[in-house]
Amino acid sequence: MDLKQKEHHTNPWVVLVLICMAQFMVVLDATVTNVALPSIQKDLGLSEANLQWIINAYTLVFGGFLLLGGRLGDLLGRKRLFMIGLVIFTFASLMNGLANSEGMLIGFRALQGLGAALISPAALSIISTTFEEGAERAKALAVWAAIAIGGAAFGLILGGALTQWFSWPWIFFVNVPVGIVVFFLSMRLVPE
């Protein structure tokens, strides 16, 4: 089976679902912590000044490394970088949920931001190469953008629900099974 036939058997809409699940986690984590900040502050004894670093560590590293993530995708391959980003993001999510100090939480939030900065440009590149230019690609990019916007809004709702019903670590633990599932399905289904 040559490469053209193998690519043809990969349903591009399945690839889009996997990419959107990863992007949803990335955007969700930018807002999900906002509602949980009072619980985190109480449990870990954070000062007001350090409390904001839980959000800033993620967003600054995410924004600061986006260009590097895009360049690394060119050098290492978009699928490989997407997978590396998923591993980093999922591992950091687990460690954030297990954090028992402000330093640990802020440090792993920064690592989570790095994983997100590797996922996002690779995801966009995978969409651009999976869908043919024109109407199909425009639809795929519209879905990807809608998922990103929805993730930001849903993060506030999910953060409140998880914090109220369980505890603040669950805002991070929820990423772990999703990240694992997306990783293993992407290994098989996302084309290079």
Task: Report the topology of domain 34-189.
Answer: Growth Hormone; Chain: A; (1.20.1250)
Q: Is the CB of residue 106 less than 8 Å from the CB of residue 50? A: yes
Going by C-beta distance under 8 Å and a sequence separation of 6 or more, which residues neighbour residue 27?
147, 148, 149, 151, 152, 155
- For the residues of 89-154, what is the DSSP string, one character each? HHHHHHHHHH--SHHHHHHHHHHHHHHHHHHHHHHHHHHHHHSPTTHHHHHHHHHHHHHHHHHHHH
Domain extent listing, the chain: 34-189
Looking at per-residue pLDDT, the higher value among 86 and 27 belongs to 86
pLDDT digits (tens, 9 = 90+) for 32-67: 888 888 889 998 888 888 888 999 999 999 999 999
pLDDT at 9: 63
User: Which residue would you say has higher pLDDT here, 181 or 131?
Assistant: 181
Across the chain, mean pLDDT equals: 87
* Arithmetic mean of pLDDT, 19-33: 87
CB atoms within 10 A of CB 150: 14
Give CA–CA dist 47/68, Å, rounded.
32
Assigned token pair, 129 = 């190469």
Residues 6+ apart with CB under 8 A from 70: 121, 125
Report residue 109: phi and psi, to 5°: -65, -40
Dihedral sign, Cα of residue 9, residue 3, residue 76, residue 121 = negative
| Contact (CB, 8 A) for 151 and 26 | yes
The predicted-structure confidence for 104-129, as pLDDT tens digits, reads as follows: 999 999 999 999 999 999 988 888 88
Positive or negative, the Cα torsion across 9, 85, 117, 169? positive
**Beta carbons within 8 Å of 185's beta carbon, 6+ residues apart:** 18
Query: For residue 123, which amino acid is it?
Result: A
Q: Encoding tokens for residue 143?
A: 């879905």
> In this predicted structure, what is the pLDDT of residue 3?
45
Span of 1-10, 21-30, 36-45 with lowest mean pLDDT: 1-10
pLDDT in tens, 151-160: 878 887 887 7
